[in-house]
Chain A
C-alpha cells in the first residue's frame, strides 16, 4: 500500500509524466521504469490523457474561431475590402489605410483624446482602489467593513447602459448635481453638452462604478501579509503610517504591479461602450476616442479596411505597452505577469 502511494505521489506532482500511467491503474513499479523511455511523445500523452484532451477540443476551437480568426481577419487592413465581396478583401493595398489615418487631422484628435482619457484614468483610477483597500483594512468592526464592501461592490454589477442612464439623470439640468449648484447660487451646467466637462464626468462615473470592486484583489493580498511583521515593526517603534509604508505596501506590491501592467496594457482601450453611450456630436472634441471613431467609420460608414487599420494600430500599441510594462516591472521590482 505504501509503495503504491509513493508512485501516485510522483505522478501527481508531475515529476515524471510517465509515472502517472501507474496512477491510472497500469500497475506496479517495474512497469513504470519501462515506460519512462518514451514518455515524452504526443502519442503516449494522447493515449494516457485522451479524456482530458476531449475537454480541450471545444475551447480551443472556440478560441481559434472567435479570437484567432479575427486576428487573421486584420489582413483586410492591408487589402481593399468591398462589402459583399470576399471577407478577406479584394486586392493588396499595402499601408494605404494606415497612411490615410495617420495623415487625417480627425484621427489625431481622437488619438489624443484617447491618450488623455486613458492617462487620466490610469493616474486617478488606478490608486483609488489601493487607498480604499488600505482604509478598509484599518476598520476594526467587521460588520461595518462588510457593509461598506457590500455597498461599494454593487455598482460593478450594473450594466453600462444603466450607468449611462444614471449619469444623464444626475447631470441633467434638473438633476441632483445642478440642484446642489443651485443651492450655492451657481448657474445650471449642461454637462453632457459641454466638451470641457466630459472627462470629469467620465472619470467620476468610472470611479463610482469600479473603485469598490477594485479593492477585492488588494484585500485578498492584504490577508497574506504575516502578522508577525507588524508586531516586530511595532516593537521597533514604527507607527501606523510607517507600518503601512514599510510592511503593508511592499506586501501587496506584486498585486499592485500585476494590476498596473494590465491597466497600462489596456489604457488605449478606454471603456469603449461607456464612452459611446455617453458621447454625442456636440462633445466629440473631447469625448470621441479611437474606438468610437473607428466604430463610426467602420460599422456605420462601411469603411471596413480603414477602420481595421485603425484597430490594428491600437491593438499593437496595447501589446507593446503590456510587453514593455511587464519587462520594466520584472527588471525594477522583480514581479511580473510572466
Chain B
C-alpha cells in the first residue's frame, strides 16, 4: 500500500513502449534539451553546497581574494579545529539535539492521536474538530499576541517550553495523516476490535505498526523543522547557554554581515571569517544530509499518500 508512487510516474516510458512509434525529430530535440536543462538545474542547485565545502577548507586570504569556488585554496583544517573547540558551539549543538527530540516526540504524539480520531467517520463532532484546526491555517493570532502569550501569560521566557510547545502541531501534517488514516483498510481494524481490542489497542497495535511510512515522514518533517528553527529562540531566549545551534550560527552570520542587531547583541558585530561560517554551516546541516538519503523514499511516498486524495 505504501508502494510505488515512484514507479507509477513513468508514463512517458509506458506510453512509447506500448505503441512503438519512432520519436519525431522534435521529440528527440526536446529530450536532449530537457536532459541538459535538468542537469544544469541540478548543478546549480548543488553548487552552493560545493562552494560551502570549498570555503570550509580554505584559508581566509584565498577566500577574500575571491579564489575559492569549486575547490579549496590554501587548504587548511584549522578552521574546523577552531569551531570544534568552542565550548559554546557544543553546548548549543547539544541544546538543539534536546529541543529536536523533545519537540518531535510531543508533536508526533499530538498529531497522530488527533489525526486518527478525526479520521474516524463516525466520530461525533468530527467536522468541528477538523474545522477548529483548519481555521488556524488561514488566520493566526499574529506575532505580538503570541509573544505576549508566551512571555506574559505562560511565563515561558528562557525555558525549553517556549521552544518546543508553540509549534507542536502543524495542521498541514495533521491533514496528511488524517487522509492517510482515512485510506486505511477498515477490515483490519474491524477484525481487531472483534478480537477484543479497544480503540487504544487498535491504534497502538494495529494502526501504528502499519503506518510506518507516514510516521517516518512526519517524524522527519517535525525533526527537520525543530532542528532548523531559530526564531523561537531569538524571541524567547536571552540566555546564550540555552541557544540552539542555529542561533549560534545566526549570530555568526549577523556579526559578519555587520547588520545592526537591535536585539541587543551589539558586541557580536565583529568580522567573522567566511571559513568559520562555512564550517559551522556544514556542521549544522550534517545530520540532515546524513539521514536525507535514507528517509527520502519514505517522505516522497508519505507525502504523496496523504495528498493524492486531497
Contact = CB atoms under 8 A, between A and B. Distances in A.
A20 B18 contact: no
Contacts of B12: 137-140
Interface in A252-308: 254, 258, 265, 273, 277, 279-281, 291, 294-296, 298-300, 304, 307-308
Interface residues of A, number: 120
Contacts of B169: 59, 62-63, 66
A159 B227 contact: yes
A73 B228 CA distance: 28
Q: Pick the most buried of B45, B274, B304: most chain A CB atoms within 10 A of its CB.
A: B45
B74 interface: no
Contacts of B212: none
Interface string A200-229: 000000001000100011011111110100
Contacts of B21: 234
Interface range for B: 35 or more
Q: Pick the most buried of B16, B24, B37, B139: most chain A CB atoms within 10 A of its CB.
A: B139
A140 B10 contact: yes
Contacts of A227: 11, 14-15
Contacts of B52: 166, 169
Q: Pick the most buried of A24, A169, A216, A314: most chain B CB atoms within 10 A of its CB.
A: A169
Contacts of B143: 291, 294-295, 298-299, 307, 311
A308 B144 contact: yes
A296 B262 contact: yes
Contacts of A56: 113-114, 117-118, 129
A71 to B, nearest CB: 5
Main secondary structure of the interface of B (DSSP, over half): helix
A174 B69 contact: no
Interface string B21-44: 100101100110011011101101
Interface stretch (A30-38, A108-116, A141-149): A141-149
8 contacts: A60-B114, A66-B168, A70-B146, A71-B145, A159-B284, A221-B308, A234-B19, A280-B257
Interface of B: 5-16, 18-19, 21, 24, 26-27, 30-31, 34-35, 37-39, 41-42, 44-49, 51-52, 55, 63-66, 69, 109-111, 113-114, 116-118, 120-125, 129, 132-133, 136, 138-149, 152-154, 165-166, 168-169, 186, 189-190, 193-194, 196, 198-200, 203, 224, 227-231, 235, 246, 249-250, 253-254, 256-260, 262-263, 274, 277-278, 281, 284-285, 288-289, 292-293, 296, 300, 303-304, 307-308, 310
Given A178-B66, A291-B143, A298-B144, 9 more contacts: A23-B193, A55-B117, A58-B110, A71-B139, A76-B145, A157-B224, A157-B292, A216-B304, A296-B262
Closest 9 CB pairs of A and B: A70-B141, A73-B145, A311-B142, A159-B228, A45-B124, A14-B121, A59-B114, A51-B199, A70-B145
